[in-house]
Amino acid sequence: LPTAPNLLNQCFDADAPNTKWVADITYIRVKKQWLYLAVVVDLYSRRVIGWAFGERINARLVCDALKAALFKRGYPSGVIVHTDRGSQYCSQAYQRLIKAYDLKCSMSSKGNCYDNAACESFFHTLKVEHVYRIAFESMKHARREIFWFIEAYYNFKRKHSKLGYQSPVKFESAASKIAA
């Protein structure tokens, strides 16, 4: 499968929204099954701007998360989208989507999890602060709880030291007022 160069080189800072996004997939245990969560995070504010659930780990999952991010952010072009070298991100469907929206594909070095540390950090927060504290009764229950964590708590309320102890949404809002 084709890969892309590492354009981030572990530089997880961004001076403006929609310049650098990171994306990845995590596994969440629900009884005897797996629920897969693909996310896209804007490095400017650490906001989860796109995400998708699936019971299969495939190209559709990551494409759905990227489409959600594009929709939420107004279809910006020229964004660096950094991922690992997973087959889902190397797939024709995902690469076509990257090209169709004039995005810049960036991939981690082979076998280097630190190259996508910002996304891994979100997954760690999700699991430690929420997932590991709940015994999910069903896939629907897991989806509902993770939706709440991302859309009601993490993006809007959870404070980040990197953002001067503001939430991602508050940080973006304050920055846009300063720029205006």
- What CATH number is given to the structural domain containing 125? 3.30.420.10
What pairing do the DSSP bridges indicate for beta strands 33-42 and 20-30?
antiparallel
User: pLDDT tens digits for 20-65?
Assistant: 999 999 999 999 999 999 999 999 999 999 999 999 999 999 999 9
Answer for the pair 104, 80: CB distance below 8 angstroms, yes or no. Answer: yes
15 inside domain? no
**Which residues are registered as beta bridge partners of 42?**
21, 47
pLDDT value of position 179: 60
How does the average pLDDT of the chain come out, rounded? Answer: 94
3 state SS of 87: helix
Domain that holds residue 96: 20-179
Low-confidence stretches of the chain (pLDDT < 50) are none
pLDDT value of position 111: 77
10 inside domain? no
81 inside domain? yes
Name the pTM for this structure: 0.95
Query: DSSP class of residue 162?
Result: G
Other Cβ atoms within 10 Å of 162 Cβ, number: 16
pLDDT value of position 176: 74
131 inside domain? yes
60 inside domain? yes
Cα 114 to Cα 20: distance, rounded to the nearest angstrom: 16
Q: Give the chain's domain count.
A: 1
pLDDT value of position 48: 98
134 inside domain? yes
